[in-house]
């Protein structure tokens, strides 16, 4: 056992392919430099776990690994699932969470906190946690313990991605490929700086619509289809039809976008980003006025394309712009949207 250990979990920006990872589709996220760091220190004279975070004022004392319905659930869940897997007794440690990743803006802080805690635990208890096990465990903490049901994209890119290559992942069979990003263009993240209304229930509701639609069409998941035919239209409710349209078309867009990235075709890639945003706004209905405004501003400045990133309901957009124009774009955005923050 180590007496001090540190684990780091990175955030991500999803370049294209939203709401596909729980529908068996393709995604194209990129790891970002912002991360969450979890430090574990032995606390010999204690029978409990103490948890502190630089982002939240409260410090918690945990005697039982049970859900508290707050931010610490990601840490508590990680301890519980790690304990289940390795049968270690976790009861006399202090856990310190530090974050350079803005929370709740769609850059995957949930996966980052879970991955960092699990990495730190495996180092502290000197247990070998293979990448695949780390991804699966982090996924289970979020889905089964905390109860927000996304797919496996965030955990995957946090563990296996890097800042220079996008991770092209088929979430159905978990095959993946790393593709270098454009040299002359930057994926700039712009935070709308408005509280994200990621009601977990809204997210889960969208997921349920997708699962129901797939069931009605008798397919394993929505991405098993490449188009919706007349028969499907009769079967589905309006809401189911809308989410299905987004998912099926977005999946085709991601495959094209990955090829454009390989072929260094930035303009074509940018167009697909904007198409993705329009579909997220009109079909999947997870955009907001602020996100739409940022996308419009960025595109009217001359970015190649822009879209919301992550689940939506607020948060941030990602825009593709020539590197030499980044500073000018920032000024332009601040003129039209003074609250914007650049990440
Ligand atoms: C959230 C989830 C991800 C993914 C995105 C939407 O970030 O955690 O798994 O579903 O939304 O693409």
Provide the whole-model pTM. 0.96
Same domain (yes/no): 143, 209: no
> At 51, which CATH number?
3.30.230.10
Q: Work out the mean pLDDT of the chain and round it to a whole number.
A: 95
312 touches ligand 1 (CB under 6 Å)? no
**Ligand 1, atom 2: nearest CA belongs to which residue?**
150
Contacts of 21 (CB under 8 A, 6+ apart): 27, 150, 151, 152, 153, 169, 171
54 neighbors 127 (Cβ within 8 angstroms):
no
Whether residue 18 is found in the same domain as residue 129: yes
Among the three residues 131, 157, 178, which one is the final residue of a domain in this structure?
178
- Range of lowest pLDDT (1-5, 131-135, 173-177, 264-268): 1-5
Residue 290: which domain range? 182-342
**Across residues 53-76, what is the average pLDDT?**
90
The answer to whether residues 224 and 145 belong to one domain is no
Distance, CA of 96 to CA of 339 (rounded, Å) = 30
46 and 148 belong to one structural domain:
yes
> Are 186 and 138 found together in one domain?
no
- pLDDT of amino acid 195: 67
pLDDT at residue 170 is higher than 80: yes
Q: Residue 332 maps to which CATH number?
A: 3.30.70.890
Pair (171, 192) in one structural domain: no
Specify which residues 74 forms β-bridges with.
none
Average pLDDT for 294-317? 96
Q: Which atom of ligand 1 is nearest to the CA of 152?
A: 9
| Same domain for 52 and 103 | yes
Q: Are residues 150 and 120 in the same domain?
A: yes
Determine what percent of the chain is predicted with pLDDT higher than 90: 89
Ligand 1 mean position, distance from CA 82 (Å): 23
Task: Report how far residue 293's alpha carbon sits from residue 45's, in angstroms, rounded to the nearest whole number.
Answer: 54
Task: Taking the CA atoms of 190, 194, 199 and 200 in sequence, report the sign of the dihedral they define.
Answer: positive
Residue 237 contacts by C-beta under 8 Å, 6 or more apart in sequence? none
Which of 111, 151, 203, 279 should be mutated for ligand 1, with most atoms under 8 A from CB? 151
In this structure, are 251 and 233 located in the same domain?
yes
pLDDT at 197: 56
Q: Which one of 13, 153, 276 would you pick to mutate in the ligand 1 pocket, going by the greatest count of ligand atoms within 8 A of its CB?
A: 153
Residues 232 and 107 in one domain: no
pLDDT digits (tens, 9 = 90+) for 219-266: 999 999 999 999 999 999 999 999 999 999 999 999 999 999 999 999
Query: Is residue 91 very low, low, confident or very high in pLDDT (cuts 50, 70, 90)?
Result: confident
Domain boundary among 136, 158, 178: 178
Looking at the fold, whether 122 and 199 belong to one and the same domain comes out as no
The number of domains in the chain is: 2
CB-CB neighbours of 210 under 10 Å: 23
Residue 149 has pLDDT above 90, yes or no: no
Same domain, 213 and 309: yes
Q: Using a 6 Å cutoff on CB, does residue 21 contact ligand 1? A: yes
Domain boundary among 119, 152, 178: 178
Distance (angstroms) between ligand 1 centre and the Cα of 25 equals 12
Q: How confident is the model at residue 210 (pLDDT cuts 50, 70, 90)?
A: very high
């Amino acid at each position: 056992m180590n007496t001090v250990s540190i684990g780091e979990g990175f955030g991500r920006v999803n370049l294209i392919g939203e709401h596909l990872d729980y529908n068996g589709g393709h995604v194209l996220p990129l790891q970002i430099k912002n991360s969450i760091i979890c430090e574990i220190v032995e606390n010999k004279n204690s029978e409990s776990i103490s948890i502190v975070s630089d982002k939240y004022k409260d410090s918690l004392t945990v005697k039982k690994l049970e859900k508290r319905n707050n931010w610490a659930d990601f840490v508590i869940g990680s301890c519980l699932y790690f304990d289940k897997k390795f049968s270690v007794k976790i009861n006399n440690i202090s856990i310190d969470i530090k974050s350079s990743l803005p929370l709740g803006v769609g850059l995957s802080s949930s996966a980052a906190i879970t991955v960092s805690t699990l990495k730190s635990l495996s180092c502290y208890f000197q247990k070998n946690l293979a990448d695949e096990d780390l991804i699966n465990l982090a996924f289970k903490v979020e889905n089964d313990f905390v109860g927000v049901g996304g797919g496996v994209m965030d955990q995957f890119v946090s563990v296996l991605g890097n800042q220079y290559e996008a991770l092209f992942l088929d979430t159905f069979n978990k095959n993946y490929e790393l593709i270098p990003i454009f040299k002359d263009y930057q994926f700039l993240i712009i935070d709308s700086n408005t509280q994200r209304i990621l009601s977990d229930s809204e997210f889960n509701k969208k997921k349920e619509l997708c699962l129901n639609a797939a069931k009605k069409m008798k397919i394993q998941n929505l991405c098993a289809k490449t188009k919706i035919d007349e028969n499907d239209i009769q079967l589905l409710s309006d809401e189911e039809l809308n989410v299905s349209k987004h998912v099926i078309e977005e999946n085709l867009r991601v495959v094209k976008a990955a090829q454009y990235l390989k072929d260094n075709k930035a303009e074509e890639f940018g167009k697909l980003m904007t198409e993705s945003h329009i579909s997220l706004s009109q079909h999947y209905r997870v955009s907001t006025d602020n996100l739409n405004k940022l996308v419009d501003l960025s595109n009217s400045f001359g970015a190649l394309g822009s879209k919301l990133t992550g689940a939506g309901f607020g948060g941030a957009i990602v825009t593709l712009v020539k590197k030499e124009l980044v500073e000018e774009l920032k000024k332009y955005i601040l003129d039209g949207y003074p609250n914007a923050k650049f990440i």
